[in-house]
Amino acid sequence: MHIFNTVTRQKEPFTPVTPGKANIYVCGITAYDLCHIDHARSALVFDILVRQLRHIGLEVCLVRNFTDVDDKIINRAHTENRDWREVAQTYMDAFHEDMDRLGVARADREPRATEHIPQIQDICARLIASGKAYATPSGDVYFRVRAYAPYGKLSGRSLDDMKAGARVNPGDEKEDPLDFALWKAAKPGEPFWESPWGQGRPGWHIECSAMSQPYLPLDIHGGGQDLIFPHHENEIAQSEAAFGCTLAHYWVHNGFVQINAEKMSKSLGNFKTIRDILENYLPETLRFFLLNKHYRSPVDFTWEGMDETEKAQQRVYAALLEAQRALQRKQWKKNALPLDVQQEWDALPHAFDQAMNDDINTAQALGHVFAQVRLVNRVLEDKKLRACETCRNLLEAFLQCAAQWDQRLGLFGRDPEEFLNALRDQRATRRHLDMAQVDKLLTARIQARAAKDFARSDALRQELAALGVCVRDTPEGQTWDLE
CA 481 – CA 483 distance, rounded (Å) = 7
Contact present, 163 and 178 (Cβ < 8 Å):
yes
Report the DSSP beta bridge partners of residue 60.
Answer: 22
Look at residues 57, 88, 56 and name the one whose alpha carbon lies nearest to residue 71.
88
Architecture of domain 302-418: Up-down Bundle (1.20)
b/e for 261-277, b at 16 or more Cβ within 10 A?
A: eeebeeeeeeebbbeeb
Question: Would you state the pLDDT for residue 166?
Answer: 59
- H/E/C letters for each residue in the chain? CEEEECCCCEEEECCCCCCCEEEEEECCCECCCCCEHHHHHHHHHHHHHHHHHHHCCCEEEEEECEECCCHHHHHHHHHHCCCHHHHHHHHHHHHHHHHHHCCCCCCCECCEHHHHHHHHHHHHHHHHHCCCEEECCCCCEEECHHHCCCCCCCCCCCHHHHHHHCCCCCCCCCCCCCCEEEEEECCCCCCCECCCCCCEEECHHHHHHHHHHHHCCEEEEEEEHHHHHHHHHHHHHHHHHHHCCCCEEEEEEECCEEECCEECCCCCCCCCEHHHHHCCCCHHHHHHHHHCCCCCCCEEECHHHHHHHHHHHHHHHHHHHHHHHHCCCCCCECCCCCHHHHHHHHHHHHHHHHHHHECCCHHHHHHHHHHHHHHHHHHHHCHHHHCEHHHHHHHHHHHHHHHHHHHHHCCCCCCHHHHHHHHHHHHHHHCCCCHHHHHHHHHHHHHHHHCCCHHHHHHHHHHHHHCCEEEEEECCEEEEEEC
Provide the pLDDT confidence category of residue 164 given band limits of 50, 70 and 90.
low
Q: How confident is the model at residue 169 (pLDDT cuts 50, 70, 90)?
A: low
Band (435; pLDDT cuts 50, 70, 90): confident
Average pLDDT, integer, range 32-61: 97
List the one residue out of 304, 308, 384 whose CA is nearest residue 341. Answer: 384
pLDDT at 293 > cutoff 70: yes
- Spatial CB neighbours of 246, under 8 Å, sequence gap ≥ 6: 217, 240
pLDDT tens digits for 230-266? 999 999 999 999 999 999 999 999 999 999 888 887 7
**CATH superfamily entry for domain 2-274:** HUPs (3.40.50.620)
Domain map of the chain by residue range?
2-274, 302-418, 433-482
User: Angle at Cα 362 formed by Cα 361 and Cα 364, nearest 5°?
Assistant: 70
Same CATH topology for 2-274 and 302-418: the answer is no
Q: Summarize the confidence of residues 468-476 as an average pLDDT.
A: 86
Cα 56 to Cα 258: distance, rounded to the nearest angstrom = 33
Query: Which of 248, 205, 238 lies closest to 17 in space, CA to CA?
Result: 248
pLDDT at position 171: 57
Query: Is residue 483 very low, low, confident or very high in pLDDT (cuts 50, 70, 90)?
Result: confident
More confident position, 166 or 30: 30
pLDDT tens-digit profile of 346-380?
A: 999 999 999 999 999 999 999 999 999 999 999 99
**Start-to-end Cα distance in the chain:** 43
